Structure 1
Amino acid sequence: MSTEHKQLEAMNGCVHYWISRNCNPNAKCILFTHGLTANHTMFEKQVEYFKESYTVITWDVPLHGLSRPYKNFSYENTAKELKAILDNERIIKVILVGMSMGGYPSQEFAYRYPKKVDRMVMLDTTPFGLKYYSKTDLWWLKQVAPLGKWFTDHMLRESMAKSVSKTDYSYKKMKEMLNPLSKAEIIQQMDIAYGKFAKENKDVHFDFPVLLLLGDKDTTGKVKQYNKAWAKETGYPLHLIQHAAHFSNGDNPEQVNLEIEHFIQGKDSYDI
């Protein structure tokens, strides 16, 4: 199954995406959205696994990867870009998988276009919802970018790659994705992504199935605490990915892939 690289000329910039279209016209579509300072290659182990049975789309979120430069970044605009991609490919319904920051465009899309979502997997991300975040939480989000400026370029990349990974693969992949970015671009992405989340966060409700996946060694911010609160508030199942940090789909792709596949098939669990 070959992967085709495409691009859409949007009002605010050119958006790049990759599609592996399954020859079965009834095959479901999975759309993967990557995390902050990353790009579509973050899901290479998922694309390889799922493309034989599903149509698979990955993309470079605006301001990231090849989707740079991009003006007027917002999660509302990322949701609109996602819809444009699906419309361009004539895809009626989609399974969303959002990793870390990628959970925000996914949730925004699901909020705006709920009838286009079959189900959603939230991977090491945090919820939309005003109840989850204190004023202190939101204040700290705004400090991430300013704190990053105190690091040297080398230290910033090293600390980011090490903090999200438990395996050599994830560490090297994160370094690889950071490599094309200047320190200034990394800081800009942090500043805009976290700043926009604080402004665009809202209470949401989803009627389709949602699965929460979390690396059991994820120590990024308060991601673990937020996921526990999210699962308690909504009743969404929360499954821990074994021996995995924040980049859990790189640290333990075998379990993540099985979790996603069994969720799509409507199975509650599986034997690891």
Structure 2
Amino acid sequence: MEKKYIKNERGKVIYWINNNNSNKTIMFTHGVTADHTLFDKQLDFWCKEYTVITWDMPLHGESRPYKKSELFWTKHFSDIAKLYPYNYYCKVSSESTTMTEESKKSFYDNLLRLGKEGMLDAANAVYKDFYNYEEVDFKCPVLLLIGEYDKTGYVKKYNDMWAKETGFSLVVIPNASHNSNFDNYYFFNNKVYEFLNS
């Protein structure tokens, strides 16, 4: 994967691309506090047939520095998270969002690289206005994926509701938690491949 960046007045956004001249491209986007390494288990599978792009969203990974009930938690996540010792936060987060030892270590290392200030900045940027976000009207097929043992926030509840309200396909990744694409990458890769080729 070749490392590149896009620069604007707010900073650099770092991305990686394999650019194998395929006419098919897949881009992987991580969630809050993760980075592009969340998709390390997808590279071997997808780079054979697709141009693959992974990236660090602003305020995550190498895309830093960058200028800067359910709703209570999302609005005050940063305020609550700053009360925890950061090593404890990293340990609890990696253990509660993953199933395999390799996945736990990968996410724990990711959080350590991000650092407490980086985690608070990223979480605040996403969660402070979470309840004001508009619903996206997708004009393409959508596949929702969730780990069988995902207990992170309201992820399971929201995915179940979203699938029922929209008719989007929802696939449960067995033997996986929140970072299901890392915990059970074989199942994840194959389900996404089936979806894209259906």
Same fold, TM exceeding 0.5?
yes
**Residue 243 of structure 1: which of 170, 175, 178 is its match?**
175
In the TM superposition, what is the alpha-carbon distance from 1:50 to its structure 2 partner? 0.2
Using the alignment, how far apart are the partners of 2:128 and 2:87 within structure 1? 24
1:160-186, CA deviations, whole angstroms, 9 ceiling, x for partnerless residues?
A: 111101110110000111122322222
Give the aligned partner of residue 147 of structure 1.
80
- Percent identity of paired positions between Structure 1 and Structure 2: 41
TM-score, structure 1 as length reference: 0.70
Using the alignment, how far apart are the partners of 1:36 and 1:222 within structure 2? 14
**Residue 10 of structure 1: which of 8, 11, 14 is its match?**
8
Using the alignment, how far apart are the partners of 1:259 and 1:198 within structure 2? 31
Amino acid in the other structure paired with 1:257:
N
3-state SS, counterpart of residue 84 of structure 2:
coil
Using the alignment, how far apart are the partners of 2:138 and 2:126 within structure 1? 23
3-state SS, counterpart of residue 6 of structure 2:
strand
Give the aligned partner of residue 171 of structure 1.
104
Give the aligned partner of residue 37 of structure 2.
41
3-state SS, counterpart of residue 5 of structure 2:
strand
Q: Where does structure 2 lack aligned partners over 5 or more consecutive residues?
A: none
Give the aligned partner of residue 19 of structure 1.
17
Q: Is 1:198 equivalent to 2:196 in the alignment?
A: no
Give the aligned partner of residue 49 of structure 2.
53
Using the alignment, how far apart are the partners of 1:214 and 1:234 within structure 2? 16
**Residue 58 of structure 2: which of 56, 62, 68 is its match?**
62
Superposition RMSD on alpha carbons, in Å? Answer: 1.3
Give the aligned partner of residue 211 of structure 1.
143
TM-score, structure 2 as length reference: 0.95
Using the alignment, how far apart are the partners of 2:103 and 2:70 within structure 1? 27
Instruction: Return closer, same or farther for 1:206/1:181 CA change in 2, 3 Å cut-off.
Output: closer
In the TM superposition, what is the alpha-carbon distance from 1:20 to its structure 2 partner? 0.7
Segments of 4+ moved more than 4 angstroms: none
| Number of aligned positions between the proteins | 198
Using the alignment, how far apart are the partners of 1:52 and 1:193 within structure 2? 33
Q: Where does structure 1 lack aligned partners over 5 or more consecutive residues?
A: 73-135, 267-272
Using the alignment, how far apart are the partners of 2:80 and 2:52 within structure 1? 36
Amino acid in the other structure paired with 2:13:
V
Using the alignment, how far apart are the partners of 1:184 and 1:206 within structure 2? 34
In the TM superposition, what is the alpha-carbon distance from 1:258 to its structure 2 partner? 0.4
Amino acid in the other structure paired with 1:35:
G
Using the alignment, how far apart are the partners of 1:174 and 1:16 within structure 2? 19
Using the alignment, how far apart are the partners of 1:154 and 1:23 within structure 2? 42
